Structure 1
């Protein structure tokens, strides 16, 4: 054994914090990056922001609002205090007329308050309501509620029945079966065979195995299908349509693609973003040689601010170049619609622009563009191609999916097309596609298999 000291040379890529930030900013959506900039403005005193203002829009809003108030007064909906409105007076915000969202639990508690029950019973009902989850089901065992409130289980059961009698139908159920049965009872559909299907044959119902259900219940397949249709029209998620605390994710397009004088133009959507610059006051602090600690702090913040400004500019430039190439490849799509969407992959665009495929992927992640056809997810414009028979031109997967939808909508529901039959029909249209690919596309679009689409 001996000790040796060797010198070796190797290449490594180390992701610095700045590189990580650059990648992070690239994959952020427009909405996310606005939030990030706001956070940086609060934390970095060197950064300054200049927001765009449109005085014309402000004047227009004021005029429109005065017309609105005048309209209310002329129809006797307003109050005398609004008369003689002038700019010098304190403005009444139009947001005062917008009502707050009413949550599902608030809606239920309002119904409980109106019940002809004792305050004791109402209090238990409200406690049960607080244990209802976002889907509208009771998330806690009734025995646990009984133990927590130190009251008999029978009383809890009685109060749960009261809660389940409220709107929306099916609320407060302990499982999907109870939820469906509550709705049937409220619709006055008290058929034992309906309840039997819910209790014993929900899985068969999901698979459209009406022959099996019919045999077990001694009824015809048509009758079983009729029962199935009734059950499938019920609401498995009673909270649907109510505010449950989940906010809608806002979509802010990255860019607008507009056709002007026969040519398409890309207009980056930077209206909501402030123009970032460096606060001039901190330049004086750097020249102060006495307080070295403060100078170091400011220099670090300056480096961070400069890199942020450069990264945002680089991000916008990268997205613009990608959109420019997409527009070139998909010109016919923007002119004529989905039927002309060409096969296009991330690798192809990356090779054109001499970028890495992962860079393109990050740049289009969860990003949208606004076009004449509405707001489009950029990723939806990327689609693989399927070869045509006796043709050098490929057809995009999106076009094939549309053709599958068309075939399924027009099929004989008593004898729906199998995946192999759909593949054969597409081959007749010069599209060579396997049965397995048809099944994959069908599942992606949420179309059931032929056995589940069959009608008796």
Structure 2
């Protein structure tokens, strides 16, 4: 007969949690220049131990001349592999290696930036009002908010987003977090594609009558017939009356295809502030540097803290100042890491797309966020955050960092792939050089591209032509 009893066992395991400092680093990583400045000003006002310095030195990195440095040990969002950390003194958290001195008389870069709420800020405010959520649910929802595009969509699958999160949760928990986000967000935000964006809006409509139900089925089951407005074919497929299909179509027409458009974005402000400046050196090499007007220089007031630490303050007050000291160091390091990550990613982009700086969009290579992530050994979500809303000033103009990423078209006969942006550039050039009396049709443009090794269907040519704002052949002939 076996005996039963209790025992005590000690096990050791490792877990990575999203601490306050990691959440702060994530938040600062995705902020554009104007919002970063606002966050820094708020922190300077709230924490007397954090100061802003006035002097610095210039730093530039030449991707064509500088060899890759060994990857440091890292922790997520702190010192990611492939991002070279910036050396600093313990009491002088500045960017001596990435900034140059700023003229005190220079105009303030953010004086005319209108204060507007972004989609992320709105959702974070809404999340703070949800008192019934657990800490885990709040963390998962905050992570999902950080992965939304400017259109309010997810560019990655829920599984990929969950895999990149350092807080592990079950698939059911992620599903509940997504459902909660879609409930607190404006109708359509948090969808995984345009179809789901519209169906989420339909689910918010009241009453949920047969027209709303038919509209959802039309979007999911027969989108190709919906584009043709073939209500008889739709009625046969859905086994309903044509009149109901027409009512459902009218209902779809009342939905908002861009529910995130009312929120602030850098493109709506009328101007942008480039955080990265690319120039050419005397030898012709590319020099990539951070814009000093957008690169804050912070300092932890060690002398003041030591004075407070040695004074006879009550234990409660001393603990509060130590907490502020920890917060000041953490905030400065998070801002510093953002600058280091931005510079490293910009350097990698400039190195991979160096032909663009010589020849323009036509020389852009196919490149995805994952390509840069693999080169730097950081996560795709980190690259997405640091390139969103950040701009690069180049000899060819100012571009958002995401401008340099494009999909790859089918390889040509010589085996070399072409980016979609390069194909659009060639379409623009062909139309510009055409005879106004005999403009090129989409089919003729496709044939001309084929002779250059760019294989595009006529439908794809029409899509790219519309994206470039080029009128169809019939209208161009009238205009000519």
Question: TM-score, structure 2 length as denominator?
Answer: 0.49
Q: Which stretch of the first structure deviates more once superposed, 330-339 or 396-405? A: 330-339
Q: Secondary structure at the match of 2:292?
A: coil
- In the other structure, the counterpart of 1:128 is none
- In the other structure, the counterpart of 1:31 is 34
For residues 331 and 395 of structure 1, what CA distance do their matches in structure 2 show?
A: 15
Larger radius of gyration: 1
For residues 453 and 324 of structure 1, what CA distance do their matches in structure 2 show?
A: 41
Q: Secondary structure at the match of 1:394?
A: coil
- In the other structure, the counterpart of 2:457 is 434
Deviation digits for residues 311-367 of structure 1 (CA, Å, limit 9, x no counterpart)? 111111111111221222122222333332222211111101101111111111111
Deviation digits for residues 223-252 of structure 1 (CA, Å, limit 9, x no counterpart)? xxxxxxxxxxxxxxxxxxxxxxx9945422
- In the other structure, the counterpart of 1:20 is 23
For residues 103 and 321 of structure 2, what CA distance do their matches in structure 1 show?
A: 38
For residues 433 and 296 of structure 2, what CA distance do their matches in structure 1 show?
A: 52
Q: 1:443 to 1:55 in 2, by over 3 A?
A: closer
Q: 1:247 to 1:361 in 2, by over 3 A?
A: closer
Q: Secondary structure at the match of 2:378?
A: coil
For residues 415 and 268 of structure 2, what CA distance do their matches in structure 1 show?
A: 48
- In the other structure, the counterpart of 2:372 is 349
Q: How far apart are residue 437 of structure 1 and its match?
A: 2.3
For residues 12 and 472 of structure 2, what CA distance do their matches in structure 1 show?
A: 59
Q: 281, 300, 309: which is aligned to 1:260?
A: 281
Q: Which stretch of the first structure deviates more once superposed, 332-341 or 408-417? A: 408-417
Q: 1:337 to 1:413 in 2, by over 3 A?
A: closer
Deviation digits for residues 206-226 of structure 1 (CA, Å, limit 9, x no counterpart)? xxxxxxxxxxxxxxxxxxxxx
Q: 1:365 to 1:415 in 2, by over 3 A?
A: same
1:404 equivalenced with 2:407 (yes/no):
no
Q: 1:453 to 1:274 in 2, by over 3 A?
A: closer
1:327 equivalenced with 2:350 (yes/no):
yes
Q: How far apart are residue 21 of structure 1 and its match?
A: 1.2
For residues 34 and 58 of structure 1, what CA distance do their matches in structure 2 show?
A: 17
Higher relative helix content: 1
For residues 389 and 269 of structure 1, what CA distance do their matches in structure 2 show?
A: 39
1:395 equivalenced with 2:418 (yes/no):
yes
* Unaligned ranges ≥5, structure 1: 1-6, 62-93, 95-245
Deviation digits for residues 57-99 of structure 1 (CA, Å, limit 9, x no counterpart)? 679x9xxxxxxxxxxxxxxxxxxxxxxxxxxxxxxxx9xxxxx
Q: Secondary structure at the match of 2:406?
A: coil
- In the other structure, the counterpart of 2:391 is 368
Q: 32, 43, 46: which is aligned to 2:46?
A: 43
Q: Secondary structure at the match of 2:478?
A: coil
1:296 equivalenced with 2:299 (yes/no):
no
Q: 1:320 to 1:273 in 2, by over 3 A?
A: closer
Residues 55 and 102, structure 2, Cα contact 8 Å, conserved in 1 = no
Structure with the greater relative contact order (CA < 8 A, sep ≥ 6): 1 or 2?
A: 2
For residues 55 and 446 of structure 1, what CA distance do their matches in structure 2 show?
A: 42
- In the other structure, the counterpart of 1:383 is 406
Q: How far apart are residue 392 of structure 1 and its match?
A: 1.6
* Unaligned ranges ≥5, structure 2: 1-8, 57-99, 108-266
